[in-house]
A and B are shown apart, each in its own frame.
Chain A
Amino acid sequence: QVQLQESGPGLVKPSETLSLTCTVSGGSISSYYWSWIRQPPGKGLEWIGYIYYSGSTNYNPSLKSRVTISVDTSKNQFSLKLSSVTAADTAVYYCARTSWVLSGPRYYYMDVWGKGTTVTVSS
C-alpha cells in the first residue's frame, strides 16, 4: 500500500528556510493532492497547504507569504519550503495524501499520512 516518508533537517536556525521532502512509495504521486500539516508541541493540527500532482497549489493564508510546495513526479516526491522561520515554526511536520469522493460533491479527506518529522527552530 501507499506509504509516505518525510525527510529533512531536524534543526533549523531562526530566519533560515525549513526544507522538507515527502517521498511516496507503493503508488504513484499522480492523480492526487498532497498536503503538508504541522503540529506544534502539545497543540493541535494546522493545514499548511497542498499541491496537485500537476503542480497547482493552495496555501494557508497565515503562512502563504513564506510557503512554497513543489512536486517532482519523476522522483515521486513533493517538498515544503518555509522561509524566515522562528521558534513558532517548531512542530512535527506531516505529509499526507489528499483524496476525494469520486462521485457527487468533492468531499476531500487525508487518507494516508507520513509518520511525521520533528523540526526545531533554534540557534
Chain B
Amino acid sequence: AIWMTQSPSLLSASTGDRVTISCRMSQGISSYLAWYQQKPGKAPELLIYAASTLQSGVPSRFSGSGSGTDFTLTISCLQSEDFATYYCQQYYSFPWTFGQGTKVEIK
C-alpha cells in the first residue's frame, strides 16, 4: 500500500491568511490525487482532483499543485467557511488511501 504523510495535522490561521497543506507519498503517483474538505458531522466534499483540477463550484481561492510524491493544497485567502479538516487521497494504486487529515482551526 502507498503511505501518505499529510502535514501539518493541525493548522491555526486567521481569516484572510494564505494556508498551505502538504501531502507526501511513499512512492510516485503521477497526478492521481484528490483533495477533500470535511466539516464536523458532514460528509467530505471534493475540492480538487487530478492533483490540480478544481471541482465545479469550488471557489477559486482553492488550488492544488504537485506531481509524483509531493502535493500541496493552497487556500489563498482563508474564509470563515474554510475552517474544516482537509484530506488528500491517492488513486494510483489499490487500496486507495487517504492522508491522516489536516484540521484548519481559527487562530
* B87 at the A interface (CB under 8 A): yes
* A26 at the B interface (CB under 8 A): no
State whether A110 touches B34 (Cβ < 8 A).
yes
Interface residues of A (CB under 8 A from B): 44-47, 58-62, 94, 96, 101, 105, 107-111, 113-116
List 11 A–B pairs whose Cβ atoms lie within 8 Å, in order of A's numbering.
Answer: A44-B87, A44-B98, A45-B87, A61-B1, A61-B95, A105-B30, A105-B31, A109-B46, A109-B49, A111-B49, A113-B44
B43 closest partner in A (C-beta): A113
Q: How many angstroms from the CA of A62 to the CA of B96 in the assembled complex?
A: 12
B55 closest partner in A (C-beta): A111
State whether B50 touches A45 (Cβ < 8 A).
no
Q: How many angstroms from the CA of A108 to the CA of B44 in the assembled complex?
A: 16
Known contacts A107-B31, A107-B50; A45/B91 CB under 8 A: no
CB neighbours of B45 from chain A (8 A): 113
Q: Per-residue CB proximity of B9-31 to A under 8 Å, as 1/0?
A: 00000000000000000000011
Given A45-B98, A107-B31, A109-B34, 6 more contacts at CB 8 Å? A44-B87, A45-B87, A45-B89, A60-B94, A108-B49, A113-B45
State whether B49 touches A107 (Cβ < 8 A).
yes
